[in-house]
Every structure is written in structure tokens, then in C-alpha cells.
Structure 1
Amino acid sequence: MVASADGKIVQLGSYAASKGNNSISGLSSGAFMTVQLHLARSASFAGAGIIAGGPFRCAETYQPSGLVTAEDSRIENSLYICMNPLIPQTGPDAQRLVEMARDTAKAGLIDDIANLADDRLYIFTGSEDDVVYSDVVAKTRQFYEMLGVKRDNIVYRDDVPAGHSIITDNPEDSDLPTNQPPYINNGGFMQSHDILRHIYDDLKAPAAQANGQLLRFDQTEFLGEDAPWASMSRFGYAYIPSRVLQGAVKAPRVHIALHGCKQGYNYTDYVNGRADIANQPPYGNRYITTTGYNHIAESNDIIVLYPQAEGTDNGSIQNPDGCWDWWGYSNKDAASPYYSRNAVQIKAIHAMLDRLCA
């Protein structure tokens, strides 16, 4: 795989990519963000892959009483409703969240719900996942069906004894039932390939070699004055297939791949509010380079965009595990809540997509 031509940081380029036939997938917090971005910008996407993620605005399933702040309520919801509900009945309320999604669209904060009807969805939960329970992910399927997505367009898998992870066929990855970082487990198949094959039914077999370029670009230009709220890294990555680099592809598709917590390229554990650099884990950019996206993208002329979140633990933002925001830590103001079209992270990621499509 070729890095940026001179080994330096580059500016994300424009490739006249598709305006509406793009897709997105993610694991864990990246899966929750996948759902948020999918709804917020549904006009841009033809499908989504959700691995261990809950429905839209899941962290607001139960509204706070007068004794609990909205922020505290979202945190409690995220932990005990959207990740580890005691029993299925205490999990997310799909009907309520559907109503909230429709109200959010009517308020003009997200795209028209009708855009979702023909989209293709891959939804997965490992039967050994003890981080985000399968009961939660089942509500994600129910949520989309209630919003009008055709049942035949949804692949739902809960039959693999996987822990909390994206699955590969790499022998060096963790055992399939593992529930710990780097959350990349060997299950004998490339889940990224299954996701893309379902979203796009015209794909060729993965290339033996990813002969395009894996570019490291400056994410900060897409953050601007929102940077203090973003909890996003300095760099993002993009895989550009060789034929796209040569200008031989008209309107290439873009797939956005969102890592989960503790999977960003510069993740370090936080101890007492400080980055524990001395014990930084050796995960690095494995989500970017070993999860299989680049090889199937190479043979099918799909650009893969890898935005990067990072750990932040200070007086303003508590995101020590480097998760994407699905409970509100990045709320800048009332006009840009974390799930909306104007949310700090959603706006930045979509701006990257716009650049690729320009």
C-alpha cells in the first residue's frame, strides 16, 4: 500500500465523487455515529453498515426529571439503556426514538426521513458482545423498519459468537469472542467486505494488492472555530484507489469508515485526566490498514474516508476513550446538537465528503 507521495501531510483533494450514492459504516461509537450521520445527511447516502450500534438519539430515550440535568441524563441513558440494559424491556424505546427522529426532521435539523426508504442496511451484533448488548442492536433494526426502510433491504446478523469488534480473517487479530481493545477479531471473514457487498450489489472481488494511495490529510481545516468542541485528531486518512488517482473513473463512490472507541490512530489511555503516553497501546492505524476496506475499495473504485476522533479529558470535554459523540459531549450550542446536520463532528465529516465530491 502506498502512502502519500512525499510522506507528508496533504490537503484532502477533490475527485468529482458521487453526490448521493455514497455509504458509511462504523463500529461501536462509530456505529452510533453512523446512524446519526446517516439520518442527518440521508440525501448523501445509499446505505450504512452498523456494527454494535443503537438507534438515533438513543441517549435521550428517557428524558430527565427535574432532579437530573439533561447532560447527566444522556450519560445515564448511554450507559444503562443504550449499552447494557438490565433486561430487554429497559433497552431503547424504538417507537419513541422514531417519533423523535421525525420531529427532528420536521424541525429542519436533519434531512428528510423519506430519503431512507430505499437505503440498504447491514446491522450486526455479536452474540458474545458484552459492551453493547444485542438487545440494543435489535432495536436499531426495529427503528429503521418503523421509519420505512424496506425489510428486504436490511441484512441483520446476530448469529456469530463474536465479542465487541469488527471481524476480519487476519490470523493475528484477537480471538472471535474477545471483548477488549483493539476490538478487531478474527472470525474467518472480512466484515467490511460483507457490508460493502450488501450496500452495493455490483462489486468485484477484493484486489490482491491495494495499489492506490493511503493519504494522511489535515482534518483541522474542516473544524475551523468548532475545533475546541470536536475531540477530533489533527489528521484523517483516505484511501484513493489507483484508477481514481489516474482520473479513469467517473463519479467514484465514497465510503466513510468510522472507528470505535480506543481505535483512533493516536489513541492513548487517560489516567487522572492525563494521557498515559508511556503505555500507549500498539494499535496505531490498524482500523485504517487491516480491516479490509482498502482492498475491496481498490477493485471497485471506491474512495474510503477514515475520519479520526481522539481522546479528550479536560474541563470542557470528557471523552477519554476517543469515542465519536453520540451522547452530547460536543454540544456547542442549542442550534447545533450532537445529532443534527450542524453538529460539530457531523458537519466536519460531511465537509470532508463534500471535498471529495467537488
Structure 2
Amino acid sequence: MGGEGQGKIEPLPTFDVRPGESSISGLSSGAFMAVQVHLAHSARFLGAGIIAGGPYRCAESFRGAGFLAADAYTRSAMAIGMTPLIPAMAPDAGRLAALARETAHHGGIDPVRHLARQRLYIFTGSADRVVYSDVVARTRDFYLALGVPEAHIEYRGDLAAGHAIITDNPEDSPLDANRPPYINDGGFMQSHEILRHIHGPLNPPTDRLAGRLIRFDQREFFGGEPRASMSRFGYAYIPSGVLAGGPARVHIVLHGCKQGYNYVNFIRGLPDISNQPPYGNRFITTTGYNAIAESNDIIVLYPQAEGSDGGAMQNPDGCWDWWGYSSPDPRNPDYYSKRAIQIEAIQAMLARLGG
């Protein structure tokens, strides 16, 4: 890998990015989050890749699950948004599509008319025991209800994969595994499928990364606010052609729970530093995004969430917020809108890059 800059911190640069041609993808909590970012700023995107993620605001499926909205959304996220007992309990795509229209009407997200031009890659493994396929199927129904043409959606549910992004790396977990680091060997690079579906025909991936993987300080994008539950550093792969001044596109990649570069396990509210997981930056460096980005002048942005446990902020697994933990008012969560602290931060990073 072209390695200059990986050991130092530098400001996130600005490049000649084509307006309106950005895209986003994610796994698990990153997939749920990718849907929220996609809906919030659909005018800026061409499409999204969703691996094991549910529809927009699905954590609000059953408001009666708790007295406080924050408690109700957390319980709904687990019991309905991830592992519904029966298919009929999966999120109601039609209701959530109506909720998205209402949110857009009040200015919380971009007008949903922009979705008609989007391209979606949606994947669920039939052996996934973390986010059930019934939930992911409702994500497809949700987008169809909002006007995305069926021909624009590639839906894959035919592979006996566990909860993971798929690679062709023999050292990764078996295909049907449902365990960290949630990167499984299935004989193909899913990241390549995602980018090809969204952006159309692309050059083959390179076997030599001549660009740079940079590390930047994320705190300027969320003001260092602890409730953002975002790490100090974020990463971006900049292809060599973009470094030379050529036009670029941006693809945002959102990791899943327990996949951030500095994830640690929490025990009784304290970080278990002595048992740091050994997989570090694997989601950034081994999932194939950089190789196909290098040969197609696509900047890959890797924002990073981190965990915390104890006190008012509960996010021990370092998940992206798709149920409201980062909202300043737990009685009225805003995690799904342009005003959400994580969505604002990610969009500020995209704007800085030039998108």
C-alpha cells in the first residue's frame, strides 16, 4: 500500500469532487446508519449499499415498548429492527415510508423525490443470526414505496452468509459465521459489487495501491462533543489519480458494531484495554474498497464510531446511532435527521472533501 501519511495526523483535504455523484454503504449498524444518511441528504447521492440493515426509523416501530422514547426505541431496535420473532413483526415498510415523507415535508431530510434516481444494493445472508432477513427485505420494500425503480435495486438474499461483509480473503471467518470481526470469506469482494451496481461499469481493481490512506482528526466535525460517540480519528483512502489533480467521486463506508479502529470491550462500564481485539483496521484495509477505488478515482471515506458505557451515553459496542442514543433530548430523539450530530459530522466530512 502507498503508505505515506498513515502514521501521522493531517487535515482532511479538498479535491475536485463531482457534485451529486457520491455514494454510501455500510454493514449492520453502519447499514442502518447509511440508510439514515442517504435519506437525510439524498440530493447529494447516487445510491447506497446496505448489508444487513433495516429501513429508515425502524427503531420507532413500537413506541409503546417503553415509557421514555429512548427506552422504547432501544427495545424496538432489538426486538423489531433486528430479530423479530415472526416475519409479521418485522418493520412496517409502508408506515416508515410515510414517516419519511412526513419528515421530508417538515425539512428534516431532503425531499424524497431524489430517491427516484438512486441505485440500491441490499444484501442479507440467509444464515445471519444478528439482523434477520425479514428485516432487510423490508428495507427493499421501503425504498420501493418511496419511488426507487425496482430495476435500480439489486437485492441479494440467496447466499448462506452470516452477519458480515463478504470478501475473498481466505484468512477471514467462514461464510456462515456470526462473530467479530464480521468479515467473512465468500469468494468475492462485496465492496466491488456495491460500487459497480451504484456507479455502473468500473475499471478492474488494482493489485497495487499507489494512493494514500490518510488519518485525520474527526473532532473538528463534531466539535469534540462526547455524545457523538465518534472516535478521535477517521480515515480516507485517496487514489493516486485524485492526488494528481484528477476529478473524483466519494464513497462513504460505515463500519458495523465492534469494527471501529479503536474498539474495546466494556466490562461493568470500564474499558477492558488489556483484552483489546486483534483486528484493528481490518475493515478499512482488507474489505476491498481501496483496490477498486484506486483504479476508478473514488475517494473512500471511513468515519469512525466508538463505544462508551456508563453514565448517560450507552453505546458499549461502538455502533452508529440508528435508535437515538446521541440525541440531546431523549424524550424527542433526532438521530434520523439532518440535525443529528453524527449525520452532520459525516456530511461535513463529505463537504470538506469537495462533495
Length-normalised TM-score, structure 1: 0.97
Superposed displacement of residue 18, structure 1: 2.0
Q: Distance in 1 between matches of 2:32 and 2:4?
A: 30
Superposed displacement of residue 314, structure 1: 2.7
2:229 pairs, out of 223, 228, 231, with: 231
Q: Distance in 2 between matches of 1:110 and 1:283?
A: 35
Alpha-carbon contact 1:335-1:342 (below 8 Å) kept: no
1:257 and 2:222 correspond = no
1:126 is matched with which residue?
125
2:14 is matched with which residue?
14
Task: Specify whether residues 6 and 48 from structure 1 end up closer, same or farther in structure 2 by C-alpha distance, changes over 3 A only.
Answer: closer
Alpha-carbon contact 1:181-1:262 (below 8 Å) kept: yes
1:341 is matched with which residue?
338
Superposed displacement of residue 48, structure 1: 0.3
Q: Distance in 2 between matches of 1:272 and 1:17?
A: 45
1:246 and 2:247 correspond = no
Superposed displacement of residue 4, structure 1: 3.9
Aligned to 1:257, the other structure's residue is in SS state strand
Q: Distance in 2 between matches of 1:324 and 1:77?
A: 16
1:292 and 2:288 correspond = yes
- Per-residue CA deviation, residues 287-339 of structure 1 (Å, 9 max, x unaligned), is 00000000000000000000000011131210000000000000024887100
Once the two structures are superposed, the pairs formed by residues 146-185 of structure 1 within 5 Å of their partners are 146-185=145-184
Name stretches of at least 5 consecutive residues in structure 2 with no aligned partner: none
Q: Distance in 2 between matches of 1:332 and 1:228?
A: 11
**Range with bigger deviation, 198-207 or 255-264:** 198-207
Alpha-carbon contact 1:4-1:10 (below 8 Å) kept: no
1:353 is matched with which residue?
350
Aligned to 1:313, the other structure's residue is in SS state coil
Aligned residues: 354
- Per-residue CA deviation, residues 212-264 of structure 1 (Å, 9 max, x unaligned), is 00000000010116x121000000000000010011x12x1000000000000
Alpha-carbon contact 2:70-2:333 (below 8 Å) kept: no
- Per-residue CA deviation, residues 38-96 of structure 1 (Å, 9 max, x unaligned), is 0001011000000000000000012227x622111101100000111000001101111
Name stretches of at least 5 consecutive residues in structure 1 with no aligned partner: none
Alpha-carbon contact 2:69-2:332 (below 8 Å) kept: no
2:192 is matched with which residue?
193
Aligned to 2:135, the other structure's residue is in SS state helix
Superposed displacement of residue 349, structure 1: 0.4
Alpha-carbon contact 2:6-2:215 (below 8 Å) kept: no
Q: Distance in 2 between matches of 1:100 and 1:296?
A: 36
Aligned to 2:15, the other structure's residue is in SS state coil
2:27 is matched with which residue?
27
Amino acid at match of 1:347: E
Alpha-carbon contact 2:5-2:215 (below 8 Å) kept: no
Amino acid at match of 1:104: T
Length-normalised TM-score, structure 2: 0.97
Superposed displacement of residue 202, structure 1: 2.7
Aligned to 2:295, the other structure's residue is in SS state helix
Q: Distance in 2 between matches of 1:6 and 1:152?
A: 40
Q: What RMSD in Å do the two structures reach over aligned CA positions?
A: 1.3
Q: Distance in 1 between matches of 2:54 and 2:170?
A: 29
Alpha-carbon contact 1:166-1:185 (below 8 Å) kept: yes
Q: Distance in 1 between matches of 2:59 and 2:126?
A: 23
Q: Distance in 2 between matches of 1:314 and 1:222?
A: 24
Alpha-carbon contact 2:69-2:333 (below 8 Å) kept: no
Alpha-carbon contact 2:81-2:135 (below 8 Å) kept: yes
